[in-house]
Amino acid sequence: MKNMMEVQDLTFTYSGASEPSLKSISLPVEKNKVTALIGPSGCGKSTLLRGMNRIHDLYPGHQYEGVINLLDSDEKGYTDILGIKKEADLIRLRQRVGMIFQKPTPFPMTIFENIAYGLRLSGIKKRPDVQEIVEQSLRDAALWDEAKDRLDHDARGLSGGQQQRLCIARAIALKPEVILFDEPTSALDPISTLAIEEMISVLRKKYSICIVTHNMQQAARISDYTGFMYLGEMIEYDQTDTIFMTPSKKQTEDYISGRFG
C-alpha cells in the first residue's frame, strides 16, 4: 500500500526556542489507514501533527529541517510540503490535509453555513452544488440524521459531540486527502467519543488519517499503526497490535502499561 505522507528526518524548532521540539522524526502515513501518535504531554506529537499541514506557519519564524512528502493527487509522485512558499499554496495544502482540533470550533453561524462558507471561499458557489456537498459531508460525518431538520439553526446549539462532527463535516467538504485529528475526543463524553471513533473507522475508507490521542485504548481501538513519541523523538512505530501486545522498546511498554515515572 502506498504511503499518503512520509515524514523523513524531520527536525522542528519553534521560533525563539534554543532546542528543537522534534528530533529527526520519521513516520509514514499509509493511504486509507489510521495512524495514531501517542506519548506523554510535551513529547511533540501535536507539534508533529501541526507540521504535517504547516499550520505552524500561521506564525512566522519556526524552523523545519528534513522532508514531509505528500502523495501527489495523480499518485505519480511526491511533493515535499516543506518546500511550499506561497500563501495560496499553503491554503491549498491545508485543504488537502485537513485538521480537527481538540475543542470543537463551530463558526457563529448556521449549521449549513458552517460548511457552505468554506466551500464558497474555495470557489464552489452554485447553490445546488453547495447543497449537495453540505448534505454529503454531514452524512460522511454521521451528523445528517441529527441535523437535517435544523440546518438553519445556529451551530452553537449543537452538543459538543455534534459540534465536533460538524467540524469534521466542514473539513471533509473541502475534499481533503488526509485528515489530522488532534485529540478530537478529549473534550467529549464517552458516548460522543464512541460516535467519533465509529465515524473515523468509516472515514478511513475514503481518507488517510493521523490522530494524536492521550487515550491509549482509543489508539488501540481505532488505529492500524501507532507511533510512540517521547521527548521529541519517535521511540517506536509499528502495527498497533504489536505496540499494545508486544512492544519492542521498554520505554513504549512502560508508557502503555502505566509504568512511566
**Could you tell me the smallest distance in angstroms from the CB atom of residue 220 to another protein?**
8
Question: What string marks each residue from 234 to 253 as x (binds another protein by CB under 8 A) or -?
Answer: ----------xxxx--x--x
> In the bound complex, what is the minimum distance in angstroms from residue 248's beta carbon to another protein?
9
Q: In angstroms, how far is the first alpha carbon of the chain from the final one?
A: 38
Residue 237 CB partners (closer than 8 Å, separation 6+): 27, 225, 226, 227, 228
The site that binds another protein (CB under 8 A) totals a number of residues, namely 16
List the one residue from 16, 77, 108, 261 that touches another protein (CB under 8 A). 261
Residue 52's SS3 state is: coil
Shortest Å distance, C-beta 226 to another protein: 11
Q: How far is the CB of 194 from another protein (least distance, A)?
A: 15
Q: From start to end of the chain, where are the E strands?
A: 3-13, 22-30, 34-38, 63-71, 78-80, 97-100, 178-182, 208-212, 225-230, 233-239
**Interacting positions 186-245 with another protein (CB under 8 A):** 216-217, 220, 244-245
Contact by Cβ (8 Å): 197, 189: no
Pairing of strands 233-239, 225-230: antiparallel
Closest to another protein by CB, 41 vs 73, is 41
Q: Which residues bind another protein (CB under 8 A)?
A: 216-217, 220, 244-247, 250, 253-254, 256-261
